[in-house]
Amino acid sequence: MSIHLPELPVTAVLPEIGQALSEHGRAVLSAPPGAGKTTLVPLFLLDAPWRGDGRIILLEPRRLAARAAAARMAAILGESVGETVGYRMRLDNRISARTRIEVVTEGVFARMILNDPELAGVSAVIFDEFHERSLDADFGLALALDVRSALRDDLRLLVMSATLDIERVAGLLGNPPVIESMGRSFPVEIRHQERPAGEPIWETMTRAIAEAHRRESGSILAFLPGQSEITRTAERLAGLFGEDTIIAPLYGNLSQKEQDAAIRPAPVGRRKIVLATSIAETSITIDGVRLVIDSGLQRLPVFEPATGITRLETVRVSRASAEQRAGRAGRTEPGIALRLWHAGQTAALPAFTPPQILSSDLSGLALDLAHWGVQDPKTLAFIDPPPPAALHEARLLLQMLGGLDRQFALTERGRRMRDMALPPRLAAMVLQAAEEGQARDACLLAVLMTEQGLGGQSIDIEERLRRFRTEKGERAEAARKLAGRIAASVEKGGGQTGLQGLPGPLLMHAYPDRIALQRGGRGRFVMANGRGAELPETERLAASTMLVIADLTGRAAQGRILAAAEISRGDVEAHMPEAIRQEEQSFFDKASRQVRARRVTRLGAIIFDEVPLPRPSGEAAARALADGVRDLGLDVLPFSKEAAQLRDRIGFLHRTGGDPWPDMSDAALLDRLDDWFVPFQGQARGLSDIHAGSLIDGLMSLVPHAVQRDLNRLAPTHFEAPTGQRHPIRYDGDEPVLSIRVQELFGLTSHPAVGVDRRPLLLELTSPAHRPIQATRDLPGFWAGSWKNVRADMRGRYPRHPWPEDPAAAAPTTRAKPRET
């Protein structure tokens, strides 16, 4: 089909793109904002001979961008969306038998290729705005490269971006042609206005917008980090302008109709102020915008594998994002980009936004990798492989949910979880609910939890679910239909319903580790995983005895609850009886410093009931004592002088000789309490029962038997002076030290040394009154050198003691005068 395409900067390189894909099958396109790559490249490739009748898949990072791209291409063709050009996303689908360009969101593409590895009927896949480095885009490209190498060598792949780490991406694709398009259509003037220290960003933004609106013409696109900042800015702007100015928020939680209204051109004679998150950085054009005001901030999710918590952090944008944002001002005419930071700070910004794969919950990826038959993700072409620790935690979660077996292979339950296009936790919940005839309730709940903004913003999931059931609007209706389709695929026995707005018992199967019991007062909870979580005391749920927490943020010690539902202990006993355990525990009581025992009924770290038991003894008591030592530190142990010196001696040999001498530092000994402490405390029931002798035996047990006999030789407790007197050696510092009266060393011509490497002792030489004279690590050098000055000084102070001119040849003594011969 012959298409008349508009002239845009990317037009000049379209033939080069077509040739690269024809000859090499892969290509990389770098084109700045406004070049027209998203719209023109797919349309141009429709006429490529290698396409045949195959479809072109264009990946976009967001639904808004996908809909906008499809609408622009359809308009160029003079058609409606759903004819030659259509789109496919989770809650919306405009595809027909005629469709040859499918604009899909990145998550949808990953499922397409997982379900059909050959990508039957697909001729080319275009990854747009790849610089955003979403997890789904990285995974989708890795899968597409795998498919191309093994099954479809005729599959064309094109990676496009306005700002791209060209070298790494090209290397991943096997160094295909790299094509660069000219810049934006119109120039953009960059200005800076530094935000006053401590001023909230919405205050600075409001002032900047008002000033720009007064001084300049055209519509304004303002970038803010999140919904809350947008709301505050909109509140402050209300009433500042007349009816000729429209204030339009733009963020992910808005409905499709609200988002489309924000990017629609302002009516003739009116201006628009669009307050947007990063959603407006790429792939969309807001006609009439010639002023961009950039806060320089963005909100990124950061996942902590150890806690299972994803928290949102407000951080500086990357230089690439700042360029993208500024480029929005030059899409349709010359523009101005005002950056709310000092010009010199731009160089300190990170080059690119961190890839999602490095800071995301990887449970969905782990399930998909298992479905693909991949144990080691390094066998796939990831630009940045998933972090091993995060992937391991994800696999452990999937084991808990029943999706993976002990070898991390996909189970039948895991296959069914993956088929549902839900996050693994929610998929596991739906499967369990289907067993109990509650599939439809569970699917409504699952879709609600995955679509931000549905049912409102309440922390109380029960309230949100109640509103969602009757919520008006296309998005809510589409979400309910999706829930119905998922339920139909899993329900058994006719799909009964019964909970009708009680989500807590269902959510327990998705978040068993986040079942929480109130502890510490209203709004304070401890979860089954041992972490704390809290709610504002004014929230209704703050008075609940138990919750199941679906979403929280913040640091590990005390997370802030974002979404939860009320449950009871009876719910747990009825629906998850296997999770409740009764066991006898020995524990250390910090107040009495004694070991106690109890019988507890527990769910993870949550204690439901406890009954005191007689005080334990033996290994159970010793292990409880070890817990107390870990909590209080080694200083609570009664180390005698001998035990402390033994520890210092062995520690000295470890520092100077390494293995096989064990580390005696606090951290090392606390880490090995089970090795040297527990086996020697079988008779102790409290700290007061511990004897220093048992600590000596324990420390010696860490020294391999084969070298124990060398301890006294290499690190002796005492030094025997030429007089026959024994003096203790101190090993508690950085080097071994011997304090001794100088007269006792007369006649000694070599410096005393200890250790594997025969390290010199630091000799602290003292006067007859045991006052310091001098310290030396070279006794012969001292005799030959500074002894002359010491002798002159000491003879006047201690005339009754010997001060020979040649101490190396004199007789050692402990007396005031040498004995007569």
Average pLDDT of each block of 10 consecutive residues along the chain (821 residues)? 80 94 94 84 94 94 88 94 93 91 92 91 93 90 94 94 80 92 80 93 95 92 93 91 90 79 85 88 76 93 74 86 86 89 92 88 93 91 91 92 92 92 92 89 92 87 92 87 90 54 88 92 92 92 95 77 94 91 91 93 92 90 94 94 95 92 95 95 92 95 93 94 93 92 93 92 92 93 92 88 91 73 42
CB neighbour list of residue 15: distance below 8 Å, 6 or more residues apart: none
Helix (H) or strand (E) holding 548: strand 546-553
What confidence score (pLDDT) does residue 499 get?
46
Burial 749-775 (b: 16+ CB within 10 A, else e): eebbebbeeebbbbbebbbbeeeebee
> Cis bond leading into 660, ω under 30°?
yes
CATH class of 188-357: alpha beta
**Whole-number CA gyration radius for the chain:** 37
Comparing C-alpha atoms, which of 40, 38, 77 is closest to residue 59?
A: 38
- Sign of the torsion formed by the C-alpha atoms of 798, 802, 808 and 811: negative
Whether the Cβ atoms of residue 515 and residue 531 lie closer than 8 Å to each other: no
Whether the Cβ atoms of residue 670 and residue 645 lie closer than 8 Å to each other: no
Amino acid at 455: G
Q: Residue 353 and residue 182: Cα distance in Å, rounded?
A: 23
Comparing C-alpha atoms, which of 426, 408, 407, 405 is closest to residue 417?
A: 426
Domain residue spans of the chain: 9-180, 188-357, 361-414, 507-576, 580-712, 716-809
**3-state SS assignment for residue 337:** strand
**3-state SS assignment for residue 440:** helix
Edge to edge, the sheet with strand 737-741 lists: 718-720, 726-730, 737-741, 762-766, 772-776
Comparing C-alpha atoms, which of 292, 280, 297, 421 is closest to residue 364?
A: 421
Q: Residue 739 and residue 772: Cα distance in Å, rounded?
A: 9
Whether the Cβ atoms of residue 329 and residue 292 lie closer than 8 Å to each other: yes
Instruction: Determine how many CB atoms are found less than 10 A away from the CB of residue 494.
Output: 6
Say how many CA atoms lie within 13 Å of 746 toward its Cβ: 19
Question: Residue 182 phi/psi, 5° resolution?
Answer: -65, 170
- Sign of the torsion formed by the C-alpha atoms of 566, 571, 575 and 576: positive
What confidence score (pLDDT) does residue 458 get?
92
What confidence score (pLDDT) does residue 2 get?
65
> Over the stretch 479-488, which tens digit does the pLDDT of each residue have?
899 899 999 9
Q: Residue 688 and residue 197: Cα distance in Å, rounded?
A: 56
Give the Cα-Cα-Cα angle 43, 45, 49 (nearest 5 degrees). 140
Cα 813 to Cα 608, 742, 761, 774, distances in angstroms: 74, 9, 21, 19
* DSSP label at residue 772: E
Beta bridge partners of 410: 404
Q: Residue 427 and residue 727: Cα distance in Å, rounded?
A: 73
What confidence score (pLDDT) does residue 1 get?
58
CATH architecture of 9-180: 3-Layer(aba) Sandwich (3.40)
Q: What own/partner pairs with CB < 8 Å and gap ≥ 24 does 549-553 have?
A: 549/511, 549/514, 549/515, 549/516, 549/525, 550/449, 550/461, 550/507, 550/510, 550/511, 550/514, 551/449, 552/309, 552/514, 553/309, 553/310, 553/311, 553/312
Helix (H) or strand (E) holding 728: strand 726-730
Q: Residue 256 and residue 262: Cα distance in Å, rounded?
A: 10
> Over the stretch 759-816, which tens digit does the pLDDT of each residue have?
999 999 999 888 999 999 999 999 999 999 999 889 888 888 999 999 999 999 988 7
**Do the domains 9-180 and 188-357 sit in the same CATH topology, yes or no?**
yes
